[in-house]
Homo-oligomer: A and B are copies of this chain.
Amino acid sequence: GSGADNDLYINQAVVFIEDAIQYRSINHRVDSKSLWLYRWYYSRTCQWMLSLTITMILALAFVEEPSSLTATSDVRYRLPPWNPPCGLTESLELLCLLVFVADVAVKSYLIGWKEFWKNKWLLAYIVTLLVSLADCIVSLSFSCTESFRIRRILRPFFLLQNSSMMKKTLKSINRTLPEMASVLLLLAVHLSLFTMFAMLLFAPTKDNQQDKEWVVYFRSLPDSLTSLLVLLTAANNPDVMVPAYSKNRAYAIFFILFTVLGNLFLMNLLTAIIYNQFRGYLLKSVQSSLFRRRLGIRAAFEVLSSPREAPACAQQSCVSARALQQVLQKVVMDSRCKQTIMRSLKMCPCDQLSAAQFQKLFEELDKEAIKQHPPSPEYRSHFMQKLQFAFGHPYFGYLGNVVALANIISICVVLVMDADKQPSERDDFFLGAINCFFILCYLLEMLLKIIAMGLRRYLSYPSNRFDGLLTLILLILEIATFALYGFPHPGWRPEFLGLLSLWDMVRLGNMLIVFRFLRIIPNMKFMALVVTTLLDLVKNLRAFAGILVVVFYAFAITGIILFKGAVIPLGNTRMLSKRDLLLGSAALLSLQSSIQHVEWGEKNVLSRCPALLYLLSVHLICRWAKIYFIAWWLISSVIWVNLFVALLLENFIHKWDRRCHRASLSDIEYQRTVELMFRDVLEEPTEEELMEKLQQHPHLQLGR
């Protein structure tokens, strides 16, 4: 009947508007049952469950058989890790996989069969699931004794496929690959030509046999290649040239030429290329999000305005305000936005809304709430008014910063004085007394500010919340200290009591005080700019970080498989577990190596990381280790770091330009969303583009 039809249209509009709010694609089934399923699937609970499942399946690696999640990483001291019985992790994994099966089934159903076959991600998802399930069953049937578990390498795929942002980023990276490959090829040519040069230049001559000392780096082709590759990462920088250089200074020309060409030119060329490719990346992604939002709103308008609904306006399609109100009541969205839209809808004089009016109503979604701080209390007493003026003044805040700085300096002085003393000689009285005094100061500052501003206004500033919270924690810590150890007096060196020793408590207090000092940041213009850029960056980097996690995980698991045989007895007592090396310390070390291209490369790792030393000293796996580390260096360090630099440049330069243009406006009014950052340059999609896209919708047949 018409009522059911009406309900369907309302539901469709609700879902389309929700799609618009979440920047989702609208290409899904639109019949009643599917809509219910769709809303259920994208409900917060359901998505949260899915995220939990993904987290759980990834976290399994930390408790599975070769696990090492102990407090210390030192194999000499640590306790044997807990080994779960066979079947426990496997059944957990099976559970997760079943959730994924449900997920893929719902997703496939919702987008429809036709679309399903076009969607490579969904197909890959299904293949991954099938392989994982088969592997899991094999594992269970062998009672967990087989060791090559392919499903572990596949796990990060579940993380990847669940995030549309990550998929988009991966596509962008993929587009950059051909040019990156060109530079890498250039790098390879550079490396191989210089390797041949080096081998010819540093070959042992027949005449003088005594110069073997200085050819150690260039004895054979793999040796030379490794030496120069490591030189490219600057890890063995002067070492490799010192023998040759000490024989004849002219040999240095070779190394300088190699380093300048390789490190300075080609490596930075990679940065330039990646930056060049990613220059428009942020803008493009924001633009496509905007398109999705406008499309969702337009689709909602179209379903509501089908001629059956409102025959009154035949010429131009329009939507009755009543229908929209019905829809709005059902939509799940930010309550502030909803209220604003409802209000403007009521204020609208006309009963029928045109497409433009409809879009305009929803523009509220693009705006960020303008924060209005509650007003200060108004005191009657003249004295209180004066007080309010004095302690509400910015100078009082600056005074607070000076006090915090004084505290920092006093801690610093005490630390320097105590550095030479034995722990047993130390007197905690001085530091205790100082901290006590300063914490009282902080408390006083907080109270005075609350009196001047009123509690609600005080709490509406993030800097005050940060400040007040830390002050309260410090106060509690101080009271606990006094309760346990009494008031400080000269020669105050009490015995250990309670959870923490006095010394630990004082240290904790000091750390909190140092942390509290960060409140100065918003007061310094340049610092505030930098910090907001960094916050923006962190937001934009989530997708990159996700991809990094995926790569990380895959590398760690691959490492375990590759270096299986490398369990070496150590100190005659315990075995060195592989997982420890590769998921634990290596992951950590690799993260750092990705930060500066230093800690990779067999030789360097050998001399630096004691754990990997044991691993790589096993000669059999040396070559595999080399290839593994080169791949790791290329992906995590060279490519990822350059991507990061490109994004930072993009973000920062955009911000900087804006700052120069709008120098007068708003110092601290942070604009956290990328959408707002690009507001000036975004293009609104035209009506034709929207309608064309709507016509292509696989499930929605528009009446006209």
Q: Which residues of A contact B (CB under 8 A)?
A: 70-74, 179, 182-183, 186, 193, 196-197, 199-201, 203-207, 209, 219-221, 233-235, 237-239, 242, 245-250, 252, 255-256, 259-260, 263-265, 268-269, 271-273, 275-276, 279, 408, 411-412, 415-416, 419-420, 423-424, 426, 496, 501, 503-504, 507, 510-511, 514, 517-518, 526-527, 530, 533-534, 537, 584-585, 588-589, 591-593, 595-596, 598-599, 608-610, 641, 644-645, 648-649, 652-653, 656
Query: What is the bound-complex CA distance between A218 and B248, given in angstroms?
Result: 40
The answer, among B204, B205, B596, for a CB contact under 8 Å with A501, is B205
Query: What is the bound-complex CA distance between A204 and B426, given in angstroms?
Result: 11
30 residue pairs of the A-B complex, CB under 8 angstroms, read A71-B248, A72-B246, A72-B249, A73-B249, A179-B526, A183-B530, A193-B518, A196-B510, A197-B511, A199-B419, A200-B511, A205-B503, A205-B504, A207-B501, A221-B419, A237-B599, A237-B608, A249-B588, A256-B588, A256-B592, A259-B592, A263-B596, A264-B641, A268-B644, A269-B652, A271-B648, A272-B648, A273-B652, A275-B653, A276-B656
Cβ-closest chain B residue relative to A223: B419
Among A196, A517, A533: residue with most chain B CB under 10 A: A196
Counted per complex, copies of this chain come to: 2
Query: What is the bound-complex CA distance between A408 and B200, given in angstroms?
Result: 12
Query: What is the bound-complex CA distance between A565 and B255, given in angstroms?
Result: 31
- Given A197-B514, A644-B268, are A507 and B238 neighbors across the interface (CB < 8 Å)? no
Q: What's the least CB distance linking A678 to chain B, in Å?
A: 18
Given contacts A259-B592, A269-B533, 11 further A-B contacts (CB under 8 A): A73-B249, A193-B514, A201-B511, A205-B504, A206-B501, A255-B592, A256-B588, A264-B644, A271-B649, A276-B652, A649-B649
Q: Which residues in B have their C-beta under 8 angstroms from that of A610?
A: 242
Cβ-closest chain B residue relative to A596: B234
Q: Which residues in B have their C-beta under 8 angstroms from that of A246?
A: 72-74
Query: What is the bound-complex CA distance between A507 and B206, given in angstroms?
Result: 12
Q: Which residues in B have their C-beta under 8 angstroms from that of A596?
A: 233-234, 237, 263
Among A245, A408, A416, A507: residue with most chain B CB under 10 A: A245
Q: Are A249 and B514 in contact (CB under 8 A)?
A: no
Cβ-closest chain B residue relative to A510: B200
Q: Which residues in B have their C-beta under 8 angstroms from that of A245?
A: 73, 585, 588
- Given A205-B503, A247-B72, are A186 and B530 neighbors across the interface (CB < 8 Å)? yes
Q: Are B220 and A420 in contact (CB under 8 A)?
A: yes
Q: Which residues in B have their C-beta under 8 angstroms from that of A415?
A: 196, 199-200, 203, 221
Query: What is the bound-complex CA distance between A186 and B531, given in angstroms?
Result: 10
- Given A197-B511, A652-B269, are A592 and B74 neighbors across the interface (CB < 8 Å)? no
The answer, among B182, B206, B649, for a CB contact under 8 Å with A423, is B206
Q: Are A239 and B608 in contact (CB under 8 A)?
A: yes
Query: What is the bound-complex CA distance between A610 and B245, given in angstroms?
Result: 12
Q: Which residues in B have their C-beta under 8 angstroms from that of A237?
A: 592-593, 596, 598-599, 608
Query: What is the bound-complex CA distance between A205 and B504, given in angstroms?
Result: 8
Q: Which residues in B have their C-beta under 8 angstroms from that of A71?
A: 248-250
Q: What's the least CB distance linking A79 to chain B, in Å?
A: 13
Those 3 A-B pairs whose CB atoms lie nearest each other, nearest first = A234-B596, A74-B246, A220-B419
Query: What is the bound-complex CA distance between A510 and B202, given in angstroms?
Result: 13
Q: Are A416 and B234 in contact (CB under 8 A)?
A: no
The answer, among B238, B260, B416, B510, for a CB contact under 8 Å with A609, is B238
Q: Are B238 and A608 in contact (CB under 8 A)?
A: yes
Query: What is the bound-complex CA distance between A259 and B598, given in angstroms?
Result: 13
Q: What's the least CB distance linking A244 to chain B, in Å?
A: 10
Q: Which residues in B have their C-beta under 8 angstroms from that of A510?
A: 196, 200
Query: What is the bound-complex CA distance between A199 and B510, given in angstroms?
Result: 11
- Given A71-B249, A645-B268, are A416 and B221 neighbors across the interface (CB < 8 Å)? yes
Q: Are B501 and A196 in contact (CB under 8 A)?
A: no
Query: What is the bound-complex CA distance between A357 and B509, given in angstroms?
Result: 80
- Given A186-B527, A200-B510, A419-B219, are A272 and B592 neighbors across the interface (CB < 8 Å)? no
Q: Are B206 and A503 in contact (CB under 8 A)?
A: yes
The answer, among B265, B423, B589, for a CB contact under 8 Å with A209, is B423
Among A73, A504, A518: residue with most chain B CB under 10 A: A73
Query: What is the bound-complex CA distance between A271 and B641, given in angstroms?
Result: 13
Q: Are A595 and B248 in contact (CB under 8 A)?
A: no
Query: What is the bound-complex CA distance between A272 and B648, given in angstroms?
Result: 7
Query: What is the bound-complex CA distance between A200 and B70, given in angstroms?
Result: 24
Q: What's the least CB distance linking A610 to chain B, in Å?
A: 7
Q: Are A598 and B269 in contact (CB under 8 A)?
A: no
Q: Are A645 and B271 in contact (CB under 8 A)?
A: yes
Q: Which residues in B have their C-beta under 8 angstroms from that of A201?
A: 507, 511
Q: What's the least CB distance linking A606 to chain B, in Å?
A: 12
Q: Which residues in B have their C-beta under 8 angstroms from that of A648?
A: 265, 268-269, 271-272
The answer, among B74, B183, B205, for a CB contact under 8 Å with A247, is B74
Q: Which residues in B have their C-beta under 8 angstroms from that of A649?
A: 268, 271-272, 275, 649
Q: Which residues in B have their C-beta under 8 angstroms from that of A514?
A: 193, 196-197, 200
Q: What's the least CB distance linking A386 to chain B, in Å?
A: 35
Q: Which residues in B have their C-beta under 8 angstroms from that of A73?
A: 245-246, 249
Q: What's the least CB distance linking A177 to chain B, in Å?
A: 14
Query: What is the bound-complex CA distance between A411 and B589, given in angstroms?
Result: 39
The answer, among B203, B250, B256, B272, for a CB contact under 8 Å with A507, is B203
- Given A412-B196, A588-B245, are A264 and B653 neighbors across the interface (CB < 8 Å)? no
Q: Which residues in B have their C-beta under 8 angstroms from that of A537?
A: 265
Q: Which residues in B have their C-beta under 8 angstroms from that of A72?
A: 246-249
Q: Which residues in B have their C-beta under 8 angstroms from that of A411?
A: 196
Q: Which residues in B have their C-beta under 8 angstroms from that of A273?
A: 652
Among A496, A504, A530: residue with most chain B CB under 10 A: A530
Q: Which residues in B have their C-beta under 8 angstroms from that of A426?
A: 206
Q: Are B256 and A591 in contact (CB under 8 A)?
A: yes
Query: What is the bound-complex CA distance between A644 and B237, given in angstroms?
Result: 20
Q: Which residues in B have their C-beta under 8 angstroms from that of A260?
A: 595
Q: Which residues in B have their C-beta under 8 angstroms from that of A204?
A: 423
Q: Are B653 and A276 in contact (CB under 8 A)?
A: yes
The answer, among B183, B507, B517, B584, for a CB contact under 8 Å with A193, is B517
Query: What is the bound-complex CA distance between A22 and B388, given in angstroms?
Result: 68
Query: What is the bound-complex CA distance between A652 and B517, given in angstroms?
Result: 42
Query: What is the bound-complex CA distance between A418 and B704, given in angstroms?
Result: 81
